[in-house]
Every structure is written in structure tokens, then in C-alpha cells.
Amino acid sequence: MARPELSPQARRNRRLGAICAAVFVGMVGAAYASVPLYKAFCQLTGFDGVVRRAEKAPDTVLDRRLLIRFDTNVRELPWTFTAEDTSQSVRIGETGLTYFKVTNNGAVPMTGRAMYNVVPESAGAYFQKLECFCFSDQTIAPGKTVEFPVVYFVDPKYASDFETQGKPEVTLSYTFFPSVDAEKASRRADASQAGAG
């Protein structure tokens, strides 16, 4: 039996409905993709005070010094997190080394991830790290203290950028949060154990 032919108005309505559905699906996809894309953009460019990861230190070291301050914070973890140095004076282009200590005051092993940024935000494009605990999740046993090194430098271009050339201080700030990847893995393990029982 042949299907009745749709009127021109019905065909337009069906086409409009398909377009609206495609736009909706595209907007939902864009919303999910926006956070990782924004994060990647910030890490690549140093935008919004996000510190960049470097492969090697610069060849040039300037006579000008900067005061680098270190700030530590913890959210939703029973951890004590401190910087060995509250500040360091380094020359622009010089490699700096500092240490941070983290103690798990909880009764079970916990995994955290350190998020970081710099102030002023304009310094984010020039403050770079060669080694940092913030590049991956950190699991700490109960009652244990772990010491983490951070190797960093400020790119010599900092001294010639009109947004940063008059700024003698940079603050590197870390905040430890529970690791999202660790929480997902724990939920998967709990679900598989429940299914096996």
C-alpha cells in the first residue's frame, strides 16, 4: 500500500524539525567538547594564567630578577599541603627548583590532582614548568608525607611584553582536588564487585 504524499507544508515542517534536532545535537556536543578544548587552549597559550609545560629551559638568562611566590590549597581531601619555600628570587630565564610536601591525614589511600595557575594572568604565557607533580594524579598512602619537586623558569620574553615588563612578582598557585579519574575507576571497581556478588 502506497504512503500518501505529504503536503508541501508537512514537508517543510518535517525538514524544519530535522534541522532543529541537528542543531540541538550539535549544541549538546559543543557543550561537552568546550571544557577540554578550553583547557587545551589555555595550556597551549598560557591564557587565563594557566602555566605551560616546557621541554627545555631557555638559553638566555637575564640580569633582571623576579620574586616567585608559592601558594598551596586543598579542596575536599584530608591532606596537608605546604610549600618548602614561600617565595624565591630568580633571574628571568634561570631554572628554579622548589619542593612541596603533601601529607595524607586520612585513614585510606587517596588520589588527588593539583590544578594550577599564575597571577598575574598575563604571566601565564611565560611561566613554564619542566617537572611538576601537577602533570599527573598523585596517590598517597594514609599517614604518609610525600615531597614533590617543581622545576620551572620564566621565559625571557616576559621582560619585553608590555603587559608583564613592569611586574616584579609572580604567584604560582596550586589547589589539590580529588582525582576525577580515580573516582571513576573506584566506581567501576565497586560496580564490578557488586555484579560478581
Residues 35 and 59 in one domain: no
Residues 13 and 108 in one domain: no
Q: Does a structural domain hold residue 164? A: yes
Q: Does a structural domain hold residue 79? A: yes
pTM over 0.85: no
Residue-number span of the structural domain to which 25 is assigned: 8-45
Residues 62 and 146 in one domain: yes
Residues 66 and 27 in one domain: no
Residues 64 and 103 in one domain: yes
How many distinct structural domains can be found in the chain?
Answer: 2
Residues 85 and 168 in one domain: yes
Residues 93 and 159 in one domain: yes
Residues 35 and 105 in one domain: no
CATH number at residue 118: 2.60.370.10
Residues 54 and 116 in one domain: yes
Q: Are strands 65-74 and 169-178 parallel, antiparallel or unpaired?
A: parallel
pLDDT in tens, the chain (197 residues): 556 677 778 778 788 788 877 877 777 766 655 545 544 544 444 444 445 666 788 889 999 999 999 999 999 999 999 999 999 999 999 999 999 999 999 999 999 999 888 899 888 889 999 988 888 899 999 999 999 999 999 999 999 999 888 899 999 999 999 987 655 444 444 444 444 45
